[in-house]
C-alpha cells in the first residue's frame, strides 16, 4: 500500500480526475479518500480500479482499435496512475527470497511500473524489462535510476519481438498475456518461446475463470479460461499452479486468478 500512497501523493488532483474519467468509461466507481496530505485507496477499491481499467482498455481496443488501447497505457504510465502500481508481487518475492528462483538473466514481459524489475535487480539478477508503451519504459528507467540499480528497458511488442533476443533464465509476466486477444496470445507464445532454453523458469500471473454468457467478446481481453495456460504452454513447460483461487467467486470482480511457475523442458520449438 505504501507505493500506492507515495505515487498518489506525487500526482495532482487533475491527474487523478483524468484517470477517474478513464475508469468511468465502464461505469465503474471508486472512492478516493483525502487523508491530510495524501490519498488512500483500500485493496477492495484497488481491485475495482484494476478491473475497470482493464475493461476500459479492452473496450478501446475492440471498438476503436489497438492504437487507442496503446494510448490508454501511454497515458496511464506517463502520469503514474496505473492502479496495479503496488510494488513487487508477493509470489515473486517469496520465490526469490526462498531460493527457489536463483539469480540469473531475467526478463519482465510487460514491465509496466518496473517494480518487479527493480526487485530482481536488487537481488542479483541481470534484468531486462520490455513494454510496448514508451511511457512505461521511460518510467522504468527513471525508477531504476532512483533505486540505484541497472535494468535494461526496451520498447518492443511481445507479439512481434524485434529488439529482444537471446535466452533468459527467468521470464516474468504479471497481467500481460491475459490482456491480449486470442490471436495475439498465439503470437505472444511463439515469440516468448524464442527467449527460453531448457530449465528456464516462467512465472505467470493471469486473471482466470470460466466466462459467463454476458461477458461475451470482452472476456478474452481480460482473463484466461481454465486450462488455457496448460493448453498453450504444456508442450514446452512443466507447469505448476502455485497460487490463485481454487473456485471462482462470482460475487466479486475479478472472480478468479491463477499464478503459475513453469519450467522449460527440452522440447525443440517448431519454426513453422
Q: pLDDT tens-digit profile of 228-254?
A: 999 999 999 999 999 999 999 999 888
Q: Give the Cα separation of 96 and 262 in Å (integer).
A: 15
Q: Give the residue ranges of DSSP H helices in 129-207.
A: 134-147, 182-193
- Residue 222: the pLDDT is 83
DSSP characters for 218-236? GGGGT-BPTTHHHHHHTTT
Q: Could you tell me the fold of the domain covering 90-264?
A: Rossmann fold (3.40.50)
- Of 21 and 244, the structure prediction assigns the larger pLDDT to 244
pLDDT over 70 at 257, yes or no: yes
- Residue 217: the pLDDT is 72
Entry field: residues in the chain: 272
Q: What's the pLDDT band for 221 if we cut at 50, 70, 90?
A: confident
User: Hey, what's the cell of 62?
Assistant: 475492440
Q: What's the pLDDT band for 114 if we cut at 50, 70, 90?
A: very high
pLDDT over 80 at 161, yes or no: yes
First to last CA, the chain: 46
The predicted model gives 97-123 an average pLDDT of 97
Q: Give the residue ranges of DSSP H helices in 148-246.
A: 182-193, 228-233
- Of 52 and 93, the structure prediction assigns the larger pLDDT to 93
Q: Report domain extents, the chain.
A: 2-68, 90-264
Amino acid at each position: 500500500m505504501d507505493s500506492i500512497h507515495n505515487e498518489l501523493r506525487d500526482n495532482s488532483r487533475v491527474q487523478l480526475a483524468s484517470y477517474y474519467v478513464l475508469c468511468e468509461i465502464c461505469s465503474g466507481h471508486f472512492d478516493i479518500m483525502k487523508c491530510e496530505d495524501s490519498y488512500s485507496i483500500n485493496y477492495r477499491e484497488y481491485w475495482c480500479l484494476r478491473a475497470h481499467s482493464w475493461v476500459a482498455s479492452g473496450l478501446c481496443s475492440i471498438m476503436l482499435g489497438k492504437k487507442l488501447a496503446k494510448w490508454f497505457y501511454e497515458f496511464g504510465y506517463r502520469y503514474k496512475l496505473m492502479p496495479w502500481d503496488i510494488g513487487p508481487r508477493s509470489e515473486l518475492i517469496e520465490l526469490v527470497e526462498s531460493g527457489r528462483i536463483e539469480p540469473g538473466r531475467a526478463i519482465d514481459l510487460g514491465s509496466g511500473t518496473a517494480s518487479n524489475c527493480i526487485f530482481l535487480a536488487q537481488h542479483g539478477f541481470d534484468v531486462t524489462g520490455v513494454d510496448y508503451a514508451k511511457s512505461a519504459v521511460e518510467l522504468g528507467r527513471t525508477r531504476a535510476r532512483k533505486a540505484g540499480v541497472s535494468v535494461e528497458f526496451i520498447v518492443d511488442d511481445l507479439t512481434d519481438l524485434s529488439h529482444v533476443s537471446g535466452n533468459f533464465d527467468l521470464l516474468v509476466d504479471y497481467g500481460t498475456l491475459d490482456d491480449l486477444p486470442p490471436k495475439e496470445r498465439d503470437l505472444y507464445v511463439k515469440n516468448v518461446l524464442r527467449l527460453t532454453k531448457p530449465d528456464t523458469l516462467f512465472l505467470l500471473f493471469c486473471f482466470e475463470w470460466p466466462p459467463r454468457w454476458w461477458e461475451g467478446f470482452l472476456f478474452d481481453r481480460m482473463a484466461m479460461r481454465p486450462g488455457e495456460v496448460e493448453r498453450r504452454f504444456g508442450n514446452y513447460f512443466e507447469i505448476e499452479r502455485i497460487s490463485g483461487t481454487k473456485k471462482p467467486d462470482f460475487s466479486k470482480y475479478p472472480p478468479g486468478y491463477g499464478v503459475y511457475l513453469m519450467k522449460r523442458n527440452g522440447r525443440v520449438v517448431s519454426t513453422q
